[in-house]
Each structure stands twice: as C-alpha cells, then as structure tokens.
Structure 1
Amino acid sequence: GIKMGVLNKKRHLSIFVFLLLFLTACDNQTEDNYHSAIQEGLDALVSEEYEKAGAYFEIALEEKDGDVRAQALLNQTNNLNEAIIFYNQQEFEKAIENAEEVSAIANGSVSLVRIANDLLEEIAELHTTTNNYQKLYDDADSLLASESPNEALVKIEELLTADKITLEYNEKIKQKAEVLKEEIKNALGEISEQKAQEEEEARIAKEKEDILQQQDNALDAYNNLDTSLKVLLAATTVDERATSPGLMGYYLNYNFDQDYLFVQVTSGAGSGHPVYMLKYDSDYITPIEGVVAMGAMGYDFADVDTNPVSKVDLYNRYLNAKDAYDSAISNIMESPYINMDNYQKMYESVGQQ
C-alpha cells in the first residue's frame, strides 16, 4: 500500500512538472509573439505603412490583452493615420485634432510624436501661406474696386507666381486669382480704350483748334494784305481773268461803296467787261450780281456764282501763286466811277437798247 502511494505521488508530480513546462512554453510563445508583433509594427511605422503597423499592434494586444504599450502604439498609429488622411483631404482642423492626440498619448512612440508635430508645423505653415495668399487676393480685389487696376495687376501677378500657389490645397484661391486677373485685364483694356478715345478726341480737338488758329492767322494775314491784293483776290471769285499772272493784258478797276465792293477786269478796249457787285464782310466775299455792257446791244446780266468764299481760302489761293498776284499790283486801280449809283443805272438799263 505504501509503495502504491509513493507511485501515485510520483505520477502527480510528473503531471505537475509537465503542465508547468507546458504553461511556461506557452507563456514564452506568447511573449515571443507579442514582441514580434510590436517589432513588426515599429518596422512598418518606419516605412510609413501606418495601417499595416496598426494591424500588428492589434495582434500584440491579442497576445497581451490590455497591454499599455501596445494600446498606446495602436492609438497613436490610428490617430496619425487619420490625421494624414484629413490633411490630404484638406480638412486641416480635423487633422490638427488627430495629430495633437498623438502627442497626448503616453507610453507610445517618440517617433510618432515627432511625425505628428512635423505635421502640425506643416499645417501651421500652410495656414500662414494661405493667409498671405488670401491677403494678396483681397488687396488686388480692393485695388481694382478703387479703380487702380495697374496696382491690382501687380498684386495678382505676385500671387499667381508664388512658390506654392500650384499646390493642390491652393487650387481654389488660384482659380479665384485667375478670374480676378481677367477682370483686371478687362478693366485695363477698357481704360486703354477710354484713354485711346480721349487721346483721339484730344487730337481732333487740337486739330480743330489748330485749324481755327490757322484760319485766324490766315484771316489776319488776308486783312493785312495791300488793298490792291485783297481786291484782286476778291475779283477771282467772279472773273477768271483776275487769276492771270500779273494780270497780263488786263487791268482791274475797283471801288468800295457802302458795304459793297465793285470790280471790273478789262483789257481797256471794246465791250464785254462785266462790273460785279460783291458783299464784303469780315470773313467772306459773297458775289451778288453783275452787269455787262454789250455795246450797241445795251446791257445784260453777267453770270454769277453767289456762294460765299472765305477770305481764308482767298489767302491760301494767294500763297499758292504769290509772285503772280504780287506782280499784278501795278495793274490794279481804284475807280470812283464804279459806284452804287452808276451800277444801279446799268442794272436798270438791262434789256434796253
């Protein structure tokens, strides 16, 4: 009986030792699995494979339920992964919340905290850059509204050539800036057209002013001519013979009576030399009518073009053949006989023999 009891005790001891060895082996395996999962997760973090890292940290938690380090690493990894996703989606406020959560978790990875802080700094820099870009846009918009498109164009060009304006998160303000630039260019175009129109109007006004000045000058020049020349030029409005160089072969008789000028171009022999009556005012010479002696046939009316001729035109006519007119002065004579009374007698004698 005693021997059997000893055998039973030995059997029980063997079973206990086996179980202890088995459990120890299991514990060692669990520990190995845990450390392996943690290491694989950390390696994945180095490769920036955050979802893969999170999966390994979950395995580590399965091996060691409630493990503080594995839980901290998992929470950090998930928050950093979310922060990066929100950052790429340009939801910066949410990205900041997740990144700050990474830094707040104790017992985690210092590297993950550093990455989260780098992301926070980048977001802060983006905010600064975006705010600067927005200010450039607002300044350009205000300058355009205050009718300073040239200054507005400088601002909008500065914005559109900025280093980071082509990055995706600046796409919206870039598009707005491009639209504003077109508005500025349109405004400049309108101003350019308006300026061109104003310059053209000023040019036309200047030309008119110059013409008027030239006319005034020409009128003054005409009025300052020798009386004989003024009469000769007036006579050219009714008798082509008055344009003959030097009045070669002709004489010009004239007389002023009341507001009229009477002229007669004659060869000094025979008949057929009309006497013309011209209205002589400050600016124009206006032919009125003419009477011509037809010898034995009495008197007849002479054909007259009654359109006024400006003294300015007559002066220009003089300038075009100055020597020819100047040389005619000796053949121009004042003739008191050609006056209103005698002209009226000739006029009333038309049709009588």
Structure 2
Amino acid sequence: MKKLSLVVLSFLLLLAGCGQADTDDAYNTAIQKGLDAIASENYIKAEAAFELALEDKKSDDKAKAYLVQTKAMQAATDAYAKKDYRKTKEEVANVIQEKKGSDALVQKATALQTKVDTLEKQEQNLQTKWTAIEKAIQAKDYDTASTQVTALLQEDLAEFPAIKKQAEEAQTKITMEKQALVKQQEEAQAVKEKQEAEQKTAEKEVPMDGADANVEAVLPTGDEIYQAGAALIYADMMAQGQPAGSFIIDENYQWQGEDMAATYAFQVYDAESPNPIATYWYFADTQEVQRQ
C-alpha cells in the first residue's frame, strides 16, 4: 500500500513539473516574440505578445514593465504621426522612466525624443523667418518679401506642410499686389504726362489777351480726372497697408476751384460695407493727393 502511494505521488509530481515547464516555455516564447516585434517597431504585435506572457505569469514584473513601455511607445508613435509633439514627449518619458523595462525600447524612445527636439527647433526657426516675411509684405517691401519667400520654399518643408502652404500663398499674393501697384503707378504717370502735355499745348495756344475759351477747351475730362486721382489714391492706400480689393474709390467726386487749379474731393469706402474710411483731396494742377 505504501509503495502504491509513493508511485502515485511521484506521478503527480512529474505531471506538475511538466506543467510548469510548459508554462515557462510559453512565457519565454511570448516574451521573445514581443522583443522581436519591438525590434521591428511593430508595437501592436509586441503588446499582444506581452499580454500573452502575463496570462502564463500574471504577477511577472518584467512582462508588466514591457507591456507598460510598449503601450507608451505606441502612443508616442501615434502622437508623432499627428505632429502632436507635446503628447509625444509625454509618452516617451513614460517609456524611459520604466526601470524594469526593455533597454531596446528606451533607446528607441530616446531617438524619437531627439527627433522631436530637432523638429521643434526647425519649426521655431521657420516661424522667425515667416514673421520677417509678413513684416516685409505689410511694409509693401515686395522685393525683400519675394526674396525671403523664395529662400524659405527652398528649405526642406516636408515636416511643415502648413508653413509651406503659407509661403506658397504669400508668393502668389506678393506677385499680384506688386503687379497691381506697378500698373496703378504706370496709369497715374501716363495720365499725369498726358495732362502736362495738354497743359503745355494750351499755354502755347492761349492768346496774349488771356482769352479763357481756349483754356476751357483743354481742361481734363471727368474720366481723366477720376483715373488720375483714383490711381494716386490707390497707391497711397496700398502704401499705408490697405490690402488690394478691400476698398472702393467713389466715382462721384466733388469739384472745387477753377480751371487747371481745380481741387477734387474723393470718398473711399470699405469694400464690404457702405462705411467711408477716408477722404482725399486731389490737386489737378500739381497731380498730388492729400488724405484728410
């Protein structure tokens, strides 16, 4: 009877030993699969492997630490893809501070931290350059702004699509406003030259007795007055920082004075409302405008 008991006991111990061996093998296999997945940066697969290891050894500190690290690294990777650098750094810190975790994960987290730091410095530098471009545009210094935008677009902006889009839009805006300003200046100059030529012709044709009929015959027409005055007013509004298209120069100007020394009052309105934003005096004899 005693011999039978000893045989049964030995058999049970053998079974227990085999069961423990199987558990250890499953645990070790799961841990190794998790580490292999970390090496290939497949953190979702690694997380599943470490959870499987904890099913075999529920209180294992190493498997718990690996799992915590892996979840944090996956979160950091997701945040980085969304360019949420603050969240990225928070999760990276969670990976690094795990004392019993994977050294491989710590190395990868540290590398990601360095990359984020570098990108943040680049972004700060690009923002400084963009601020300088905005100031040049506001000052109507289009040549400087154009040079700065061209230089900015030549940089590697793959990680900064928003800044790239801003620069491309600014480049288009600079070109359009520069062309508009040049056109207005050319039109104003052409009108001025035409009126000066007509005035010289009139002076030659006016008889010595000063007959007024000839002078009246060469006075500028209404369209010429509006074009000349509006061109100068447009250039002045642009120079003061008013964007093109944001204002309207009223065609119903008021006339004061006589002959070539006449003075005309122009009203400038907001393009999106009937509210006047400026009054200008246009002096026909000197081809100048003055804002009131």
TM-score band (shorter)? 0.5 to 0.7
Residue in structure 2 matched with residue 175 of structure 1 by the alignment? 165
- Corresponding residue for 2:55? 62
Return the offset for 1:154.
1.6
What is the aligned partner in structure 1 of residue 180 from structure 2? 190
Shift of 1:40: 1.0
Q: Does 1:74 align with 2:67?
A: yes
Q: Which moved more, 1:202-211 or 1:115-124?
A: 202-211
> Which residue number corresponds to residue 131 of structure 1?
124
Structure 1, residues 298-353: CA drift from partner, whole Å, max 9, x if none? xxxxxxxxxx9xxxxxxxxxxxxxxxxxxxxxxxxxxxxxxxxxxxxxxxxxxxxx
CA–CA separation in structure 2 for the residues paired with 1:153 and 1:15:
92
Aligned pairs (5 A) from 1:38-117: 38-117=31-110
Structure 1 residue identity aligned to 2:145: A
Q: Residue 44 of structure 2 aligns to which amino acid in structure 1? A: E
The Cα of 1:77 is off from its aligned counterpart by 0.9
For residues 198 and 153 of structure 1, what CA distance do their matches in structure 2 show?
25
| Residue 32, structure 1, aligned to residue 22, structure 2 | no
TM-superposed CA distance for 1:202, in Å, is: 6.1
Count of residue pairs the alignment pairs up: 213
Structure 2 residue aligned with 1:118:
111
Q: Considering only CA atoms, is the larger Rg found in Structure 1 or Structure 2?
A: 1
d(CA) in 2 for partners of 1:283, 1:157: 63
Unaligned stretches of 5+ in structure 2? Answer: 215-292
Task: Tell me the CA shift for residue 160 of structure 1.
Answer: 2.2
Identity of aligned residues (%): 29
- Among residues 145, 153, 162, which one is paired with 2:138 in the alignment? 145
Instruction: Report the aligned-residue RMSD.
Output: 2.9
Aligned partner letter, 1:179: E
Q: Could you say if the C-alpha distance between residues 191 and 37 of structure 1 is closer, same or farther in structure 2, counting changes exceeding 3 Å? A: same
Task: Give the aligned partner of residue 7 of structure 2.
Answer: 14
SS in 2 for 1:105: coil
Counterpart-to-counterpart distance in 1, 2:34 and 2:115:
25
Structure 2 Cα separation of the partners of residues 202 and 118 of structure 1: 67
Measure the CA separation in 2 of the matches of 1:131 and 1:282: 73
Amino acid in structure 2 at the alignment position of 1:34: Y
In structure 2, the residue matched to 1:160 is 153
Could you tell me how far apart the structure 2 residues matched to 1:130 and 1:122 are?
12
How far apart are the structure 1 equivalents of 2:3 and 2:103? Answer: 53
- Structure with the bigger RCO (C-alpha within 8 Å, sep 6+) is 1
> For residue 46 of structure 2, what is the amino acid of its counterpart?
A
Task: Specify the SS of the correspondent of 2:160.
Answer: helix
Could you tell me how far 1:80 is from its partner in structure 2?
Answer: 0.5
Deviation at 1:199, TM superposition (A): 4.4
What CA distance in whole angstroms lies between the structure 2 residues aligned with 1:15 and 1:74?
A: 41
Secondary structure, in 3 states, of the residue corresponding to 1:108? coil
The whole-number CA distance in structure 2 between the counterparts of 1:110 and 1:201 is 78
**What CA distance in whole angstroms lies between the structure 1 residues aligned with 2:163 and 2:8?**
77
- 1-side partners of 2:171 and 2:190: how far apart? 28
Q: Distance in 1 between matches of 2:187 and 2:178?
A: 14
TM-score, normalised by the number of residues in structure 1: 0.54
**Given the superposition, is the C-alpha separation of residues 117 and 209 from structure 1 closer, same or farther in structure 2, using an over 3 Å criterion?**
farther
Q: Once the 2 structures are TM-superposed, how far is the Cα of residue 118 of structure 1 from its aligned partner?
A: 1.2
Displacement after TM superposition at 1:282 (Å): 5.7
Q: Cα–Cα, structure 1 residues 128 and 209, in superposed 2: closer, same or farther, change >3 Å? A: farther
TM-score normalised by the chain length of structure 2: 0.65
Q: Letter of the 1:194 partner, please give it.
A: Q
Partners of 1:209 and 1:108 lie apart in 2 by 91
Separation in 2, partners of 1:141, 1:114: 41
- Corresponding residue for residue 264 of structure 2: none
State the distance in 1 between where 2:71 and 2:126 align.
33
